A and B are shown apart, each in its own frame.
Chain A
Amino acid sequence: MATTTKKTVSSNGQAKAARVEVLKTYKLYIGGKFPRTESGRYYSPNELGSICLSSRKDFRNAVVAARGAFGGWSGRAAFNRGQIVYRIAEMLEGRSAQFVDELMQQGATAAAAKQEVAAAIDRLIYYAGWCDKYQQIFSAVNPVASSHFNFSMLEPTGVVAMVAPENTSLLGLVSVVIPAIAGGNTCVVLASATKPLCAVSFAEVLHSSDVPGGVVNILTGKADELLEHMASHMDVNAVVYCREDAKAIEALKAEASLNMKRVHVYNKNWQKDEAQNPYMIKALQEVKTTWHPIENIGGAGSGY
């Protein structure tokens, strides 16, 4: 741990006993609460401290929470979701020093850490704006030949299980979680195994941002333990996988066929602006087409 003890000197020149820092317990985030892993297992990546090694049971609990939150969250007005995502950015901006500190504990330079936090905040703002706009880009009124008003619009796919990028602690997680919830989905995301600190702290940001409990659930632990459960869980609608294990990807895709999960594998440079676009939202949407009859009487339609 990056805990240092310094001797401080009080104003009258006498040496004071050094204050002992209170260490943080890193927990999971499930259904708006911060439980420890039910398995009682921990690991300590790069001696960062005790990190929960989430179990299948933790994952299943998180899916229950995500499913429970889906109705309410997907039913929110797009504008309201935009306000809440914006609020997440406000909260993160206010706590940026903490995240910079954690990124540096996990090996980033000060400059890189600052840049990553700023990029994560700006990415939140970017998707806050999309909440009430992607529908206008991707929906359509379809000129069917019969006398019907026919339109297609997007609806969220449902509960999404995610394996966040391994090489970034904060920005990668934000880059996959936010487009999912901007579009009204709820999710269970597994944080970077080697750089989990920012994910845990990001849960605290979400918790103070009017994001309803259960919309985002954050687990820490090992992808090779949890991926098969993500792939096989019958109440998960889609899986987003952001690592490069080819065998795991093949197994995931095969297992996902159980209930036809949508599988998205992303391998992007998350630091770049190209990693953000409305197609990240669209990927986790279903298209619904509605037919409505149009009566056809009266009015020549040729009037001024």
Chain B
Amino acid sequence: MSKKKKSTESALNSGWDLSPAPESTGHIQLNDQYGHFINGKFVKPAKGKYFDTINPATEKKLASIAEGSKEDVNKAVKAARSAYENVWSKMPANERGKYIYRIARIMQERAREFAVIESMDGGKPIRESRDVDVPLAANHFFYYAGWADKLPYAFPNQQPQALGVAGQIIPWNFPLLMAAWKIAPALATGNTVVLKPAETTPLTAMKLAEVIQEAGLPEGVVNFVNGAGATGAAIVNHPDINKIAFTGSTGVGKIIQQAVAGTDKKVTLELGGKAANIICEDATIDQAVEGIINGIYFNQGHVCCAGSRLFVQESVYDEVLQKLKHRMESLIVGDPLDKNTDIGAINSKEQLSTINRYIKIGQEEGAEMYQSSCAVPKKGYWCRPTLFLNASQSHRIVQEEIFGPVLAIQTFRTISEVIDKANNTPYGLSAGIWTDKGSKIFNMTNKMRAGVVWANTYNKFDPTSPFGGYKESGYGREGGLHGLSSYLNFN
């Protein structure tokens, strides 16, 4: 009996090679060079500057991308303003909705193509881009399409009106999904859009521009300007933009809040997080371990709501830790396009060095590091799933957002203690609770100072469900009925 058990374990741990199962890239069409998408057309940048976007799993160049200047942003805002004044704001709401439905349907048709490009450009496993990012993005358009002609029901007696031109800046961790989260509600509420994709992951936005063309959206309703921080600043500071929606770091979020202080711009900020994932002694441990893994290693930990602080009740600590390490050993790190891959490539060289810096800090601070023993490819940017034991509240790896597959573990004895510890952070985006006792779930979800709380699940997203943070994780909500209001004026 014990012999049999051992052999099963070793099979899981090492010698169990899966044949490669890479998703084909044969049907993917990418241009060598992408400019901006302004007024319904792909255009070259005013200053003619380009940078490369690479595949982080191979370090090979995928395409060169325009670097947006102030002139480019001006042009895009002008197109968006003109489309707003002349077409979009005059169109009956249900017709506007039908355009958004078209985007959703074409994205559903081209889902596989989007998934492959997303994994190539950003490094995330195809399993995630195929099953999470792309369907959620399409569903987001489908959901908000339906709101276009129903706004008075969402906001009775308030006469909801569009703002005008929305400037949107999105991150590299969920490139297409974040574009959908931004564009869909903006269009449904009658605004036009200037969006800047992240500089390391612009390709699915360029594909989305193709979809928008194919859907026949009036020119200028959605515009994409590529570029990095300076391009984003030009959007934030543009005087003819009515609304800024930003997803990214808390540091940049603070700069934006300051920059728009003297203006009438509406702002929503979806920023960093350092979520507590709390395992109570009465949790179903196997299920909780899966939740821990999903919470921190989903998308290489490049998730603002990642469950990066694990709190385990002392009485089950040994069991959780043993099972967690065992489960970590079975995670496959490698080719993002392989359907068996659990953890793909770190998004960029810069991000990898940030993660490695924190791993060093964690060790220097005295926490005990454990990494799985899996092999990683030679080329590309990789990080083994990592955890730190004996971490304490004062450690930087507990306080600061790492944005990588690094988990800091603490223990607790009482519910009161863990609530205090969990809330002791400037962030407040999300939290996770694992217990089989329903009344305890509601006690703890009530007391978490966080915008999204998952009970016996983690990293769940849905177009109907609002997402956003407390405290320095930002303000405003995206998704659901609540995601509409930040794109509307009310009487």
- Once A125-B101, A278-B153, A295-B439 are accepted as A-B contacts, the answer to whether A132 and B143 lie under 8 Å apart by CB is yes
Evaluate contact between B101 and A86: CB separation under 8 angstroms. Answer: yes
Whether B442 contacts A292 by the Cβ 8 Å rule is yes
Interface residues of A in 124-152 (CB under 8 A from B): 125-126, 128-133, 136-137, 149
Chain A residue with the shortest CB-CB distance to B428: A304
Whether, in the assembled complex, A13 has its beta carbon less than 8 Å from a beta carbon of chain B, the answer is no
- B420 at interface, CB cutoff 8 A: yes
Q: B438: which of A122, A133, A292, A296 is its contact (CB, 8 Å)?
A: A292
**A75 on interface, CB distance cutoff 8 Å:** no
Complex alpha-carbon distance, A264 and B415, angstroms:
51
Q: Indicate if the CB atoms of B94 and A298 lie closer than 8 Å.
A: no
Q: Are B94 and A297 in contact (CB under 8 A)?
A: no
Residues of A within 8 A of B419 (CB): 298-299
B101 — which chain A residues lie within 8 A by C-beta? 86, 125
User: B39 contacts the other chain (Cβ, under 8 Å)?
Assistant: no
Contact B146 A137 (CB under 8 A): no
* Size band of the interface chain B makes with A: 35 or more
* Cβ–Cβ contact A295 & B440, under 8 A: yes
Indicate whether A133 sits within 8 Å of B414 (C-beta atoms), given known contacts A295-B437, A299-B420. Answer: no
Q: Is the interface of A mostly helix, strand, loop or mixed?
A: mixed
B471 CB within 8 Å of chain A: yes
Q: Do B139 and A79 touch (CB < 8 A)?
A: yes
Is B157 at the interface (CB under 8 A from chain A)? no
B75 contact set on A, CB distance < 8 A: none
Contact between B447 and A298 (Cβ–Cβ < 8 Å)? Answer: yes
Contact residues, B413-434 vs A (CB, 8 A): 414-420, 423-424
Q: How far is B420's CA from A133's CA once the two chains are assembled, in angstroms?
A: 36
A295 touches B142 (CB 8 A): no
A292 touching B439 by the CB < 8 A rule?
yes
Say yes or no for A303: interface residue by CB 8 A criterion: yes
Q: Let me know if A83 is at the binding interface, CB within 8 A.
A: yes
Q: Is the CB of A294 within 8 A of B146?
A: no
Q: B7 in the interface, Cβ–Cβ < 8 Å?
A: no
Closest A residue by C-beta to B108 = A83
Cα–Cα distance between A304 and B450 once the two chains are bound (Å): 11
Question: Which B434-461 residues have a C-beta within 8 angstroms of A?
Answer: 437-440, 442-443, 446-447, 449
Question: In the assembly, what is the distance between CA of A136 and CA of B479, in Å?
Answer: 12
Asked whether A295 lies within 8 Å of B443 as measured between CB atoms, the reply is yes
For A304, what are the chain B residues with a Cβ–Cβ distance below 8 Å? 423, 449, 471
- B386 contacts chain A at the CB level, 8 A cutoff: no
B145 close to A (CB within 8 Å): yes
Given the complex, which residues of A lie within 8 Å of B94, measured CB to CB?
Answer: 122, 125-126
Known A125-B94, A149-B442, A297-B443: A303·B449 in contact at CB below 8 Å: yes
B146 touches A132 (CB 8 A): yes
Tell me, yes or no, whether B238 is within 8 Å of chain A by CB. Answer: no
With a cutoff of 8 Å between Cβ atoms, the chain B residues found around residue A136 in the complex are 154, 464, 480-481
Among A129, A130, A132, A303, which residue has its beta carbon within 8 angstroms of that of B423?
A303
CA distance A254 to B218 in the complex (A): 55
The proximity string for B residues 174-202 relative to A, scoring 1 for CB distances below 8 Å and 0 otherwise, is 00000000000000000000000000000
Contact with A along B134-147 (1 / 0, CB 8 A): 00000100110111
Tell me, yes or no, whether B327 is within 8 Å of chain A by CB.
Answer: no
A165 within 8 Å of B (CB atoms): no
Tell me whether B438 and A297 are in contact (CB under 8 A).
no
Given known A86-B101, A294-B446, A299-B415, contact A79–B143 (CB-CB < 8 A) = yes
A158 at the interface (CB under 8 A from B): no
Q: Mark A103-133, 1 if CB is under 8 A from B, else 0.
A: 0000000000000000000100110111111
Interface flag for B254 (CB, 8 Å): no
User: Which of the residues B142, B145, B150, B415 comes within 8 Å of A298, measured between beta carbons?
Assistant: B415
In the bound complex, how far is the Cα of B146 from the Cα of A126, in angstroms? 7
B150 to chain A, nearest CB (A): 6
Q: Which residues of A contact B464 (CB under 8 A)?
A: 78-79, 132-133, 136
Contacts of B148 in A (CB 8 A): 129
Distance of A293 Cα from B441 Cα, bound (Å):
10
Check if B481 sits within 8 Å of A294, measured CB to CB.
no
Chain A-chain B contacts (Cβ-Cβ < 8 Å), number: 91
The complex places the Cα of A82 from the Cα of B449 at a distance, in Å, of 34
Q: A141 to chain B: closest CB distance in Å?
A: 11
Q: Give the residues in chain B near A303, CB-CB below 8 Å.
A: 420, 423-424, 449
Whole-angstrom distance from the CB of A151 to the nearest CB of chain B? Answer: 11
Cβ-closest chain A residue relative to B98: A125
Assembled-state Cα–Cα distance A299/B143 (Å): 37
CA–CA, A129 to B145, complex, Å?
7
B97 contact from A129, A292, A294, Cβ within 8 A: A129
Q: How many angstroms between the C-alpha atoms of A295 and B414 in the bound complex?
A: 14
Chain B residues with CB below 8 A from A299, complex form: 415-416, 419-420, 423, 447
Q: Known: A83-B142, A298-B416. Contact between A129 and B443, CB under 8 A?
A: no
B149 at interface (Cβ–Cβ under 8 A)?
Answer: yes
Chain B residues with CB under 8 Å of A94's CB are none
A40 at the interface (CB under 8 A from B): no
- On chain A, the residues within 8 Å of B416 by CB distance are 297-299
Distance of A128 Cα from B98 Cα, bound (Å): 11
- Contact A301 B145, beta carbon cutoff 8 Å: no
Minimum CB–CB distance from A299 to chain B (whole Å) comes to 3
Chain A residues whose CB sits within 8 angstroms of the CB of B143 once the complex forms: 79, 132-133
Chain A nearest CB: distance from B215 CB in Å?
A: 14
Contact with A along B84-108 (1 / 0, CB 8 A): 0000000000100110010000000
Whether A126 pairs with B149 at a CB distance below 8 angstroms is yes
Q: Is the CB of B442 within 8 A of A294?
A: yes
A292 to B440: give the CA distance in the assembly, Å: 11
B424 CB contacts on chain A under 8 angstroms: 303
- Residues in B with CB closer than 8 Å to A294 are 439, 442-443, 446
CA distance A136 to B465 in the complex (A): 10
A294 to chain B, nearest CB (A): 4
Q: How far is the CB of B39 from chain A (nearest CB, A)?
A: 28
Name the B residues within 8 Å of A295 (CB-CB).
Answer: 437, 439-440, 442-443
For the complex, give the distance between the alpha carbons of A83 and B141 in Å.
12
New A-B pairs, 7, CB < 8 Å, besides A149-B442, A299-B415, A303-B420? A130-B146, A136-B154, A136-B464, A293-B438, A297-B415, A298-B415, A298-B447
Enumerate 18 A-B pairs (CB-CB under 8 Å) in ascending A order.
Answer: A79-B463, A82-B146, A125-B97, A125-B98, A129-B150, A132-B143, A132-B463, A136-B481, A137-B153, A293-B439, A294-B442, A295-B442, A297-B415, A297-B416, A298-B414, A298-B418, A299-B419, A304-B449
User: What 6 A-B pairs have minimum CB-CB distances, sorted nearest first?
Assistant: A129-B146, A298-B416, A299-B419, A295-B439, A298-B415, A294-B442
Interface set of A (CB-CB < 8 Å, partner B): 78-79, 82-83, 86, 122, 125-126, 128-133, 136-137, 149, 278, 292-299, 301, 303-304
